Amino acid sequence: MSQGATTDGVRSPAEAAAGSKEQPAGKEQRVTKQRLAVSAALDDLADFVSTQELHRILQERGTSVSLATAYRILQSLADDALVDVLRNADGEAVYRRCAVTGHHHHLLCRSCGKAVEVEAPAVEAWAARIAREHGFTAVEHTVEIYGLCPECTARQGGK
């Protein structure tokens, strides 16, 4: 997911937006005002955000980024593993810059959208074993667990 962070795990918004030196050869991205603005907005958000929500936030900040450009930048950041992307309950792609720099999974609240990053060594071992048993190589996987966070559970009366 968010791969390519520096050894201390900290990247400046400009490094993240530009792809910095960890970028694979030939994948260097041009640093534009729009790319920096999208990157900075993602840095300020705690939870996953859709492209349309991010576009609205940028507009409220007075930043001129078209919706099409926002889509392209987010896809580019996802392709470069600088943001995590997953599908929400409506099937819409949502994005977030994660604090965890290695491979990880998420617990996601179906009600408020809260996301918790989790490592799952048992899942990793299971995926590797299943792939090996079936002769698969170069395997990738995602695991997202959906439920209700403690706050939403309490609001709904502990159901």
Pairwise pLDDT comparison (8 vs 87), residue with the higher score:
87
The domain boundary residue, chosen from 78, 100, 122: 100
* CA-closest candidate to residue 19, choices 100, 86, 83, 93: 83
| pLDDT tens-digit map of 33-78 | 999 999 999 999 888 899 999 999 999 999 989 999 999 999 999 8
> Which pLDDT band holds residue 113 (cuts at 50, 70, 90)?
confident
Domain co-membership, 96 together with 109:
no
Whether residue 99 is predicted with pLDDT greater than 90 in this model: the reply is no
Angle at 87 between CA 124 and CA 45, to 5 degrees: 95
Residues 109, 155, single domain; the answer is: yes
Higher pLDDT, 142 or 127: 127
Determine the average pLDDT of the residues in 135-147: 88
pLDDT at 131 over 70: yes
The structural domain count of the chain equals 2
Residues 75 and 142 in one domain: no
Q: Say whether both 55 and 80 belong to one domain.
A: yes
| CATH label of the domain that carries residue 130 | 3.30.1490.190
Residues 73 and 122 in one domain: no
Q: What is the pLDDT of residue 23?
A: 42
Distance from the Cα of residue 25 to its chain's centroid: 22
pLDDT at 88 over 60: yes
Domain CATH number, residue 2: 1.10.10.10
44 plus 82 within the same structural domain: yes
Specify the pTM. Answer: 0.62
Asked whether residue 143 falls in the same domain as residue 96, the answer is: no
- Expressed as residue numbers, the domain containing 138 is 103-159
